[in-house]
Amino acid sequence: MNDIQQPAGVAGHRLASLLTPRSVALVGASPKAGTVGFGMIKGILGGGFKGRIYAVNPNYKEIEGLACYPSLAALPEAVDHVLLGVANQRLEAAMTEAVAAGARAATILASGYLEGDRDPPLTQRVASLARGAGMALCGGNGMGFYNQEAGVRICGFPPPDWVRAGPIALISHSGSAFSALAHNDRRFAFSLAVSAGQELVTTAADYLDFALRMPSTRVVGLFLETVRDPAGFVAGLELANRLDIPVVALKVGRTAESAALAKSHSGALVGDDAVYRALFRRHGVVEVDGLDEFANSLLLHSQPRRLAAGGLASIHDSGGERELLVDRASALGVPFARIGVATRDRLAASLDYGLEPINPVDAWGTGHEYEKVFGDCMAALLDDPDTAIGALCVETRSDRVLHHGYAHAMRRAHAGSDKPVVFINNLAAFGDDELAVNITGSGIPVLIGIDPGLSAIRGAMARRDFRARAAPRPQTAPAGLRVQWRPRLAMGSALDEAESLALLADYGIRVAAHRIVESAAEAEVAAGALGFPVVLKTAMPGILHKSDLGGVKLGLAHAREVKAAYDDLAERLGPKVLVAAMAKPGLELAFGAKRDPQFGPVVMVGAGGVLIEYLRDRQCALAPFDTAEARRLIDGLALRPLLDGKRGRPAADVAALAEALARFSVLAADLDGLVAEIDVNPVAAGPDGPLALDALVIPAEKGSN
């Protein structure tokens, strides 16, 4: 056989031997139907592989027309790729043989778990063997992969015959999710589909880089449990943006374990889930919450047209289902196109008497010439300058002439426009109907279910808006501050409130005027100098959450109140006390920062004061960021309307608030490696701008900076 012709985009790639091998050895090949050994053969032959295939099993001379060899050492060449279809008990020996035979890559299907295993466990021993030999390794505990662009199917259970090449790349940590998308629905066509499994050597970041370089890839879907190569993963997301290839991510395993280890309130709120959301936000990743939305998003982004400016324009054959879509679009935050007078006139000219020329359109009247009516109405909507995408919301059934008519109408409207068009089935079900497959293949994706369909459109709108933004321009950190603060932060102990506020002030964040005192007399003098009313707070070392211990006294209007408050604090908690001027009324927010071990400093803004842990109203972003991103974070809060002033309260200076938040992000980035957590709570947001009233800075552990 001739050597396979590698696609130009991935020739010489570090995963070439793994994903576009010229020769493959199937260790454990078997003629027994239904076994993994038989499935390996059917898989590689069924994909049309043009390279050399060697079956390896000492019990046979020939299997399915392939010469069968007793061992890898007996092969006539050192193969590019070894598919290990052996049980866990044979895995280490088989991997050792593959290394000795000079194989350049391998795929492991077995789990790698042994009862009573020794230390290090089998998975680590196998990974060490591969790394030592410089081998790329898919798995273990996976289902292999399909490189449809190159005709390579490395698997233990062959896919259905209808699986074909297409524009979607899928990288999945879940074998079942891989199978659900690759094996059950003929709407999907893949450039690459990988069941990454345990990622013992080769990671999602590696597959992402390869998939983005494949000429046929238009969208990449990631079913992620974790990211094992953060730097490589971020590089892949940056490459995707340079190539304008959307990345859709379904992140599972959102846990709170890391939050339980945080020492500050805000640190506890910036857990794993918040960090990944911040990562995806930074790079314009389309994040989804379930498999239906994941599938719909992949289909929507697999067609070549990008959403235009504006909102959704939809057509329905049911008034009730139109009302349902309007309700769900409102709940999910999907805007409708605000169509103009000319568009309404065109709709009115096509619709039966009594039907309103509005968006969304109920276009079913008498049914007379319905195909022309629906096609003309969609064409009118697509021509409107405020339409981003058109949708026909009906079911697709191959046995209904009516639905074939809908398909013809949408194909005609689609051909006359450069905007995307989709079908949205009202019921969520497999889109495996022949008509749905054909419509999707013509460039009009059939999306399944109103909520998942609308969510996919919302994600596409968010990505469109991300792509339209100017490049971020965060401020430069003030020169010399990192060096100035390094000795204090290197001491390891938490900064007290006065020190924490001083740090914020150095980075341009306005803080409450305050003084440290150690006697009642000093407290009275400080209060007089600052101006009544004042607040007294314990400043004793080691007390991280003062309110929890009754260590805060608010609204002290007279010297005698100051003395009584000081005496109480000194007796219960110790003599060191901070005196601060009471801030003017303002909405209480919180700024927080936490260093994620994978992706660096993450900044939070949210509800503050005593409500920080209860409302859980917050937005997060990777630091640093500019004022435009800070404004988007603030605008994303549920409490955002309160900043505009309600019930006679003055509006807050939101522009100044965004500026302070952006400066805080610069602080977090500049002190990366020196600081573990920062909690600024509350931040009083008022008409005079934000004012930090309390702060807690937790340095990084010694040796981490």
CB-based contacts of 615, cutoff 8 Å, min separation 6:
606, 607, 638, 639
CB-based contacts of 479, cutoff 8 Å, min separation 6:
none
Q: What is the DSSP letter of 190?
A: E
Enter the tokens of residue 70.
Answer: 């007793």
**Three-class secondary structure of residue 179 per DSSP:** helix
Task: Judge whether residue 684 has pLDDT over 60.
Answer: yes
Q: Which helix (H) or strand (E) holds 78?
A: none
Identity at 180, one-letter amino acid code: A
pLDDT in tens, 455-497: 999 999 999 999 999 999 999 999 999 999 999 999 999 999 9
Mean of all residue pLDDT scores within the chain: 93
**Three-class secondary structure of residue 117 per DSSP:** coil
Give all strands of the β-sheet with 286-288 in edge-to-edge order: 152-154, 144-147, 190-195, 165-172, 219-224, 247-251, 286-288
- pLDDT score of 671: 98
- pLDDT score of 299: 97
pLDDT in tens, 583-621: 888 899 999 999 999 999 999 999 988 777 677 789 999
- pLDDT score of 305: 97
* CA-only gyration radius of the chain, Å: 31
Is the Cβ–Cβ distance between 19 and 210 less than 8 Å? yes
- pLDDT score of 20: 97
**DSSP per position, 591-640:** EEEEEETTTEEEEEEEE-GGGHHHH--EEEEESP--HHHHHHHHHTSTTG
Instruction: Measure the CA–CA gap between 567 and 574, rounded to whole angstroms.
Output: 9
Instruction: Measure the CA–CA gap between 627 and 659, rounded to whole angstroms.
Output: 5
Please calculate the CA angle 265-268-274 and round it to the nearest 5 degrees: 125
108-114-119-120 Cα dihedral, nearest 10 degrees: 10
Q: Which helix (H) or strand (E) holds 679?
A: strand 675-686
- pLDDT score of 541: 87
Average pLDDT value for residue range 32-45: 96
Average pLDDT value for residue range 450-457: 97
Is the Cβ–Cβ distance between 607 and 617 less than 8 Å? yes
Instruction: Measure the CA–CA gap between 402 and 383, rounded to whole angstroms.
Output: 25
Instruction: Measure the CA–CA gap between 618 and 612, rounded to whole angstroms.
Output: 9
Task: Judge whether residue 638 has pLDDT over 90.
Answer: yes
Pairing of strands 311-316, 361-362: parallel
Whose structure tokens read 């008509």?
435
Instruction: Measure the CA–CA gap between 255 and 474, rounded to whole angstroms.
Output: 30
pLDDT in tens, 312-321: 999 999 999 9
Instruction: Measure the CA–CA gap between 514 and 578, rounded to whole angstroms.
Output: 7
Tell me the longest C-alpha to C-alpha distance in the chain: 100
Is the Cβ–Cβ distance between 512 and 580 less than 8 Å? yes
Give all strands of the β-sheet with 311-316 in edge-to-edge order: 361-362, 311-316, 387-393, 421-425, 446-448
Check residues 569 and 256 and name the one with the higher pLDDT.
569
Identity at 640, one-letter amino acid code: R
Q: What is the DSSP letter of 676?
A: E
pLDDT in tens, 364-373: 999 999 999 9
- Backbone phi, psi, residue 83, to 5°: -95, 115
**DSSP per position, 404-463:** HHHHHHHHHHHHT-SS-EEEEESS-----SHHHHHHHHTT--EEESHHHHHHHHHHHHHH
Average pLDDT value for residue range 109-126: 94
Task: Judge whether residue 166 has pLDDT over 60.
Answer: yes
Is the Cβ–Cβ distance between 127 and 104 less than 8 Å? no
Average pLDDT value for residue range 548-570: 93
Instruction: Measure the CA–CA gap between 603 and 158, rounded to whole angstroms.
Output: 46
Instruction: Measure the CA–CA gap between 601 and 482, rounded to whole angstroms.
Output: 15
Best CA proximity match to 248, nearest among 257, 234, 237, 232: 237
**Three-class secondary structure of residue 336 per DSSP:** strand
Q: Which helix (H) or strand (E) holds 518?
A: none
Is the Cβ–Cβ distance between 248 and 294 less than 8 Å? yes
* Residue/partner pairs of 86-95 with CB below 8 Å, 24 or more apart: 86/27, 86/28, 86/110, 88/112, 88/113, 88/114, 88/122, 89/114, 90/28, 91/122, 91/126, 91/140, 92/122, 92/125, 92/126, 92/129, 94/27, 94/28, 95/126, 95/129, 95/130
Best CA proximity match to 657, nearest among 680, 623, 678: 680
**DSSP per position, 633-662:** HHHTSTTGGGGG--TTPPPP-HHHHHHHHH
Q: Which helix (H) or strand (E) holds 673?
A: none
pLDDT in tens, 14-27: 999 999 999 999 99
Please calculate the CA angle 377-348-324 and round it to the nearest 5 degrees: 60
CA atoms within 13 A on the CB side of 146: 30
- pLDDT score of 269: 45
Q: How far is CA 187 from the centre of its chain?
A: 24
**Could you give the C-alpha distances from 122 to 91, 101, 125, 175, in angstroms and in order?**
8, 20, 5, 20
pLDDT in tens, 232-276: 999 999 999 999 999 999 998 866 554 454 444 444 444 588 899
**DSSP per position, 253-319:** ----HHHHT-SSHHHHHS-HHHHHHHHHHHHT-EEESSHHHHHHHHHHHHSSPPP-SSEEEEEES-H
Task: Judge whether residue 521 has pLDDT over 80.
Answer: yes
- pLDDT score of 261: 46
- Other C-beta atoms lying within 10 Å of the C-beta of residue 291: 16
- pLDDT score of 409: 97
pLDDT in tens, 382-391: 999 999 999 9
* Rounded percentage of the chain residues whose pLDDT exceeds 70: 95
**Could you give the C-alpha distances from 227 to 14, 255, 636, in angstroms and in order?**
19, 14, 26
**Three-class secondary structure of residue 324 per DSSP:** helix
Best CA proximity match to 410, nearest among 435, 450, 376: 376
CB-based contacts of 119, cutoff 8 Å, min separation 6:
none
Q: Which domains does the chain have, with CATH numbers?
A: 16-252 (3.40.50.720), 305-468 (3.40.50.261), 513-582 (3.30.1490.20), 587-699 (3.30.470.20)
With b for 16 or more beta-carbon neighbours within 10 A and e for fewer, the 144-154 pattern comes to bbbbbbbbbbb
